[in-house]
């Protein structure tokens, strides 16, 4: 990717928008840029990250499997029902 290319400019604009959002949120909330908040975000995104890695492997191998969202949703429903019924999971 060359520094003058259209793709480079698009990525640069996205990066600047992200930095701007982080700066605005850090001024609006004193707890935004704390270690505890960072750990909380990492913990909440770990499941999505593992699913993204699994889907990336499928795409790289030449497959095209978009059922991962459905499997994730039905797994949450089943786990919720098991919790309501008092079953171990």
Domain ranges for the chain: 1-33, 47-89
Q: Which residues of 68-78 are buried (b: 16+ CB within 10 A; e: fewer)?
A: eeeeeeeeeee
- Which two tokens mark 43? 């913990």
Kindly report the pTM of this predicted structure: 0.50
Rounded to 5 degrees, φ, ψ at 67 are: -80, 0
End-to-end C-alpha distance for the chain, whole angstroms: 47
Average pLDDT for residues 31-42, to the nearest whole number? 91
Indicate the average pLDDT of the chain.
88
| Residue 35 pLDDT class (50, 70, 90 cuts) | very high
d(CA 72, CA 41): 19
pLDDT of 68 reads 77
For the chain, how many residues are written? 89
| Per-residue pLDDT, 62 | 82
């Amino acid at each position: 990717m060359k520094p003058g290319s259209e793709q480079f400019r698009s990525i640069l604009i996205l990066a600047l928008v992200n930095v701007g959002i982080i700066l605005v949120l850090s001024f609006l909330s004193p707890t935004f840029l704390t270690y505890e908040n960072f750990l909380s975000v990492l913990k909440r995104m770990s499941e999505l990250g593992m699913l993204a890695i699994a889907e990336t492997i499928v795409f790289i191998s030449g497959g095209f499997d978009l059922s991962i969202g459905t499997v994730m949703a039905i797994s949450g429903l089943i786990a919720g029902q098991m919790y309501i019924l008092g079953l171990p999971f």
